[in-house]
């Protein structure tokens, strides 16, 4: 890694994005082999978000839905989105910050869906993908002096708004999961920062981290109370 060439290759190759894509595709193939990605039993076996099972203690169902998809079109749309958004986000945030943003945004979206859309069996990477859009909104607000970042932020803000409007008129779309992922992306990106672009005020990072943790705990608590009724 001391060789400048290999260091540059390491920093610029979005291998986390490629890894996430590979895992997602492999899981979809396994779903298909197990009986089909649109079969509810298969989805439950692979870890779809289903509130009664979370009430029973299967907390990992806040994570596993990120890697599950319902039908080939669902997979294709999210895979393409992850490929293009992931490449950009990973180069800006760095490999491990990008991975944390993706996973925590996905979890935040599933927690929001758990609380506000409790009767739906849910799966898909869109919660995490909305989180990447949210991360770019944070960058646009923080690094306004950077013309490229500002342009990307505006593009992804437009994309997020159009998708949310589309969600309002589409049946079977988990808009609460998407909003939760978007907000989660803003907060986790604010907590982690983007050192490649410059420093972020420490107080702002701490506030973003505290708000994220408190919001997740509050939403899970609220969802559990609803399940106990």
List residues with catalytic annotation: 126, 178
Residue 122 DSSP SS3: strand
Compute the radius of gyration of the chain from its Cα atoms.
18
Where on the phi/psi map is residue 194: left (φ > 0), alpha (ψ -120 to 50), or beta?
Answer: beta
* Whole-angstrom distance, CA of residue 199 vs CA of residue 208: 15
Beta pairing partners, 122: 49
User: Which residue matches tokens 């596993």?
Assistant: 64
Q: Tokens in use for 228?
A: 């106990």
* Whole-angstrom distance, CA of residue 94 vs CA of residue 103: 14
């Amino acid at each position: 890694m001391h060789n400048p060439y290999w260091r540059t290759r390491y920093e610029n190759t979005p291998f986390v994005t490629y890894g996430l894509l590979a895992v997602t595709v492999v899981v979809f193939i396994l779903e298909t082999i197990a009986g089909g990605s649109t079969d509810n039993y298969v989805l439950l076996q692979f870890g779809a978000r289903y509130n009664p099972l979370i009430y029973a203690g299967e907390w990992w169902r806040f994570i596993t839905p990120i890697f599950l998809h319902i039908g080939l079109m669902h997979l294709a749309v999210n895979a393409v989105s992850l490929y293009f958004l992931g490449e950009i986000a990973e180069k800006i945030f760095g490999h491990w910050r990008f991975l944390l943003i993706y996973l925590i945004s996905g979890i935040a979206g599933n927690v929001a869906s758990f609380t506000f859309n409790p009767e739906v069996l849910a799966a898909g990477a869109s919660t995490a993908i909305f989180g990447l859009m949210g991360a770019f909104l944070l960058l646009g607000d923080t690094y306004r002096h950077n013309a490229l970042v500002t342009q990307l932020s505006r593009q992804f803000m437009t994309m997020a708004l159009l998708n949310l409007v589309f969600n309002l008129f589409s049946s079977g779309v988990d808009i609460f999961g998407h909003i939760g992922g978007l907000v989660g992306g803003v907060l986790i990106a604010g907590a982690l920062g983007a050192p490649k672009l410059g420093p972020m005020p420490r107080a702002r990072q701490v506030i973003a981290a505290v708000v994220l943790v408190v919001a997740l705990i509050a939403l899970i608590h609220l969802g559990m109370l609803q399940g106990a009724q």
